[in-house]
Structure 1
């Protein structure tokens, strides 16, 4: 094997491990939020005011 082949294998291995690391790091925060039990209590108010109200007002239904 030439040096170029070895370098190519090294680059492929680094790309494989870095893509696995990115996927694992992207999957960790939602699990940490859910594990601490803050997901429903802390974020539901923000979701209600920022998502539901504009959707309801665009469709002609006014809340309350």
Structure 2
């Protein structure tokens, strides 16, 4: 259960960070070139989200594997 809670908090932190970055990028892009900016924002947002979520999943998986390994002498 603890692993699931850690994964949830990792996801929440990831989404919060992406929201801040996305808001700043969209504000800048809207004034520079709206169409190109929105496309770049969408591509960048989903790329960052994929990278961040996969990082959280790797962290969760390594914790799960370490938890189930027998102790070494």
Q: What is the TM-score of this pair, normalised by structure 1? A: 0.49
Higher normalized contact order (CA 8 Å, seq sep 6+, divided by chain length): 2
Rg larger for: 1
Q: What is the TM-score of this pair, normalised by structure 2? A: 0.44
